[in-house]
Structure 1
Amino acid sequence: MSSLLSIDEPVRAPARPRPQWRAFTEMGFRPLYLAGCAWALISVLLWVHAPSLLRGELNGLAWHAHEMLWGFVATIAVGFLLTAGANWTGRNPLRGNALAALCLVWLAARAGYLVPGRPAFLLAGIADLVFFLWGAAALGRSVWLTRNKRNYGVPLLLAALASAHLLYLTAAVSGDYLGLMRYFNAGLLSMAVLTLLIARRVLPFFAKRAVTGLDIPPHTRSGHWQLAAGVAAIVLLLAGAPKGAALALAASGLIALVQWLAWKPWTARRVPLLWILYAGYLGLSIGLLVGAAQLAGLVVRVAWPAHVIGVAGFSVMILGMVTRTALGHLGRPLQTDRSMVLSYALIILAALLRLAALLPSSAVTGLLHASATAWALALALYLWRFFPMMIRPRADAGGQATPVMRIKPVVAPRG
């Protein structure tokens, strides 16, 4: 007799792996992406809504500028480079308890700037210096031991960020406003050069993998000229030659625009993981030209270059990178969901509102608050979506943290 009704037990979804300390500290992007994005959210809300809580030696505008550049942007860069370095060299630069210790040093720096008194300030400054030099040394060791000549200069850019940080704090303590701005701009340009170097490598690689049949040039030779122009701009700025720095910076920005157009940005319009990176690269390119105009005396307000480069450039690109590279290294499909796309829209809105607030009008306060709200929501969405993934093993690791002591190097890094 044939069966008229068959009832099978439902197939149970595989149990969600539990959080693991080993997984959380297996690569630099996991704790440092979360830490950098969380601090970006908290520090902006403090700056806009509770500035009275900023009672440390480095207070007010000096604290805000420092924490945005070195506490947020450069922190994400260290997390990215420690992760990418494993792909470039086949050696994981830092992991486990050593990576956790690096994160504790970072936390000590963030807390120290908020505590009143010179001892706390000195502790914070030293902690930040150790953080960047430790990251540079760990990456440099992997690069040197594997004779990865293509990346010999990357740890030096991290060391330049550390040096600019130290000079910035020295100027802040001595009350040297002109020195403060010069060293902040040097740090900003060091970060811009590093960002251009990384983005020029990964953006064409990501694009060709995401868009079927897309063929775009890597612009390796123009990237070398761009790198040389950026380094020249930093040296000339520190040497007190703003006109020469303006020319070098303009050259770097124009090369970036040419690269952006050559990479066919219109082909990325249906791929959120791509168009957010294109948007950030465009913002950074324009920001470099605005910075050149300011150094040449054509733009009066010194806040314009920092915010175009920092908010429209770095921040937009960072949100795209911490999404794309995290998904790849977590073994997840390279696809966005609604929360991720919404976070992209919010970070771009935050950038536009912040730039609008630089224009003289009666709506400045409202624009600032609206920008801070959009900024906080964008980063909160990222943290909400990615925190549960970051503290667990890779999706394809079968519930166990993957060993990462030796990683097969690839020609074009995915992170």
Structure 2
Amino acid sequence: MKQSLHRLFGDGFRIFFLAAGVFGLLAAIYWQAWLGVHAFGGMVTEHSFAPPPHLWHAHEMIFGYAGAALGGFFLTAVPNWTGAKAARHGFIVLVAGLWLAGRVAIWMSGSLPPVLVAAVDLAFLPVLATKILTQLLNRPKPQNMMFLGLLTLVWLANATVHADWIGLGGPGAEVGLRAGLLGICAMIAVLGGRVTPAFTRNAMTRAGRETDLPASRKPVELIGIALAIGLPVLVLAEAPERLIAVLAVICGAAQLARLAGWRTGWTLGQPILWSLHLAFGMLGAGYLLLGLSLTGMGSEVAALHVLGIGTVGGMTVAVMSRAILGHSGRALVAPRPVALAFGLIGLAAVIRWVGSSAQIDLYFAAMLVAGALWIAAMALFVLSLLPAILGSSAAE
């Protein structure tokens, strides 16, 4: 037990990916309970947190769940990119503690000064980014240094939310939440755009395939990445909605055009690969739906959930699963429960979109079914990969 606990804080991916899965599970259970009460005519009027429940839910899934996934990814990937020393136990304990303190502060925000809540919740990303900076400077490359800018953008989005909750004014909490989600989607546009074709190409090469490998077209790549990064900036700047709508549609089309060259069909028998393609496809679809919704065609909330569940949820679980298996010395083959989790997340995104977009009243039913699928996916992810998270690594 003591050895497993020591190992848990020995690598960034262990504690943060476990935290993401467990928090994604528990936060969704609470949200489902609240929805269930209201779906059957009840009313819950008192909470330990200060913001309205739907804003708490959005904030914690964007900055809580996804924040943990980002922490584990960068603490694991950046040393591999740069050859820098990985973070030590003490730092991992510190930064994990800051992330957890943020979750507790938000949960107890109904009885805490909002300035204190903001200070605690906003502390995590700057400390994480400082460590990432020191590691990136070991081998600075513009394509990697850019992630510091994206992390700053996500932090500014969270600060915008807290400014509203404190009463300082500004664009407002909902603008900050949308910008935070789009900031994380921008990271997926960049990172997912790297790893999805690269991992597919590697697998095809290992299988003896030498032709028709995944290919990327630079102009499309640049358009897709530039627009993905620009959208959260425009949202924070409160740019005209029509401009955001047009750029979101173009961005979505660019992401789907990128995906079209990555040989998705070849991956269908390998969940560890098709999960990446599915999540990236959700990215393109989500941008398209968001842009259309801003012109009055469809629900904006539904489109944002395609991005939140299908893209952020799908890509984080796919990447976390692959990293856990690879760094613990296991074969890069998704266990059946994890493969099922990949599919459940994609299905949850579709059902949640249908619930807000259908002409008949399916809202609560779709919300509850989508939430149940998400909870099942998180439970499968955590329970199936917990032995690998707590077990020895390939290096040991």
Q: By percentage of residues, which structure has more helix? A: 2
- Write the distance in 2 (CA, Å) between the matches of 1:82 and 1:222: 30
What is the match of residue 39 of structure 2?
A: none
Alignment counterpart, residue 74 of structure 1, candidates 56, 67, 73: 67
Residue type of the partner of 1:144?
A: L
- Write the distance in 1 (CA, Å) between the matches of 2:363 and 2:244: 31
Report the more deviating stretch, 114-123 or 183-192: 114-123
What is the match of residue 41 of structure 2?
A: none
Instruction: State the secondary structure of the residue aligned to 2:172.
Output: helix
Note the C-alpha offset of 1:20: 3.3
Note the C-alpha offset of 1:199: 0.5
User: Against the structure 1 CA distance between its residues 276 and 61, is the aligned structure 2 distance closer, same or farther, given a 3 Å change threshold?
Assistant: same
Kindly indicate whether residue 148 of structure 2 is the aligned counterpart of residue 147 of structure 1.
no
User: Against the structure 1 CA distance between its residues 93 and 130, is the aligned structure 2 distance closer, same or farther, given a 3 Å change threshold?
Assistant: farther
Q: Does structure 2 conserve the Cα–Cα contact (< 8 Å) formed by 1:20 and 1:392?
A: yes
What is the match of residue 372 of structure 1?
A: 371
What is the match of residue 191 of structure 2?
A: 198
Instruction: State the secondary structure of the residue aligned to 2:282.
Output: helix
- Write the distance in 1 (CA, Å) between the matches of 2:342 and 2:229: 30
Note the C-alpha offset of 1:177: 10
Note the C-alpha offset of 1:294: 2.9
- Write the distance in 2 (CA, Å) between the matches of 1:97 and 1:65: 31
Any idea what the Cα deviations from partners look like across 1:148-172, whole Å, max 9, x if unmatched? 3331111111111111101012123
Alignment counterpart, residue 307 of structure 2, candidates 303, 306, 309: 309
User: Against the structure 1 CA distance between its residues 229 and 366, is the aligned structure 2 distance closer, same or farther, given a 3 Å change threshold?
Assistant: closer
User: Against the structure 1 CA distance between its residues 253 and 159, is the aligned structure 2 distance closer, same or farther, given a 3 Å change threshold?
Assistant: same
Any idea what the Cα deviations from partners look like across 1:262-282, whole Å, max 9, x if unmatched? 112111111111111111100
What is the match of residue 24 of structure 2?
A: 40
What is the match of residue 389 of structure 1?
A: 388
- Write the distance in 2 (CA, Å) between the matches of 1:74 and 1:292: 25
Q: Which runs of 5+ in 1 are unaligned?
A: 1-16, 401-415
What is the match of residue 49 of structure 1?
A: 33
Q: Does structure 1 conserve the Cα–Cα contact (< 8 Å) formed by 2:349 and 2:370?
A: yes
- Write the distance in 2 (CA, Å) between the matches of 1:118 and 1:55: 7
Note the C-alpha offset of 1:379: 0.7
Q: Does structure 2 conserve the Cα–Cα contact (< 8 Å) formed by 1:23 and 1:391?
A: yes
User: Against the structure 1 CA distance between its residues 26 and 116, is the aligned structure 2 distance closer, same or farther, given a 3 Å change threshold?
Assistant: closer
Instruction: State the secondary structure of the residue aligned to 1:113.
Output: helix
* 1:326-405 paired onto structure 2 within 5 Å: 326-358=324-356, 359-394=358-393, 396-397=394-395, 400=396
Which structure exhibits the higher relative contact order, with contacts defined as CA atoms closer than 8 Å and separated by 6 or more residues?
1
Any idea what the Cα deviations from partners look like across 1:21-62, whole Å, max 9, x if unmatched? 442223211111111111111111111204747321123111
- Write the distance in 2 (CA, Å) between the matches of 1:205 and 1:300: 34
- Write the distance in 1 (CA, Å) between the matches of 2:110 and 2:217: 49
- Write the distance in 2 (CA, Å) between the matches of 1:374 and 1:216: 31
Report the more deviating stretch, 212-221 or 96-105: 212-221
RMSD: 2.3
- Write the distance in 2 (CA, Å) between the matches of 1:19 and 1:220: 47
Query: Aligned residues: percent identity?
Result: 24
Q: Does structure 1 conserve the Cα–Cα contact (< 8 Å) formed by 2:22 and 2:378?
A: yes
Residue type of the partner of 1:27?
A: D
Instruction: State the secondary structure of the residue aligned to 2:191.
Output: helix
Q: Does structure 1 conserve the Cα–Cα contact (< 8 Å) formed by 2:133 and 2:148?
A: yes
Any idea what the Cα deviations from partners look like across 1:58-88, whole Å, max 9, x if unmatched? 2311101101111112321221122110111
Instruction: State the secondary structure of the residue aligned to 1:132.
Output: helix
How many residues of Structure 1 are paired with residues of Structure 2 in the alignment? 380
TM-score under structure 2 length normalisation: 0.89
- Write the distance in 2 (CA, Å) between the matches of 1:388 and 1:72: 21
- Write the distance in 2 (CA, Å) between the matches of 1:300 and 1:346: 23
- Write the distance in 2 (CA, Å) between the matches of 1:35 and 1:167: 25
Q: Does structure 2 conserve the Cα–Cα contact (< 8 Å) formed by 1:62 and 1:172?
A: no
What is the match of residue 10 of structure 1?
A: none
* 1:117-132 paired onto structure 2 within 5 Å: 117=110, 119=112, 121-132=114-125
Kindly indicate whether residue 77 of structure 2 is the aligned counterpart of residue 84 of structure 1.
yes
Note the C-alpha offset of 1:93: 4.9
Any idea what the Cα deviations from partners look like across 1:81-132, whole Å, max 9, x if unmatched? 2211011111145231211111111111111112253536444322221111
Q: Does structure 2 conserve the Cα–Cα contact (< 8 Å) formed by 1:273 and 1:320?
A: yes
User: Against the structure 1 CA distance between its residues 372 and 237, is the aligned structure 2 distance closer, same or farther, given a 3 Å change threshold?
Assistant: closer
Kindly indicate whether residue 26 of structure 2 is the aligned counterpart of residue 28 of structure 1.
no
Q: Does structure 1 conserve the Cα–Cα contact (< 8 Å) formed by 2:292 and 2:298?
A: no
* 1:312-327 paired onto structure 2 within 5 Å: 312-327=310-325
TM-score under structure 1 length normalisation: 0.85
- Write the distance in 2 (CA, Å) between the matches of 1:124 and 1:116: 6
* 1:183-222 paired onto structure 2 within 5 Å: 183-211=176-204, 212=207, 213=209, 215-222=213-220
Note the C-alpha offset of 1:142: 0.9
- Write the distance in 1 (CA, Å) between the matches of 2:124 and 2:366: 34
Note the C-alpha offset of 1:178: 6.3
Note the C-alpha offset of 1:210: 1.9
What is the match of residue 38 of structure 2?
A: none
Kindly indicate whether residue 53 of structure 2 is the aligned counterpart of residue 60 of structure 1.
yes
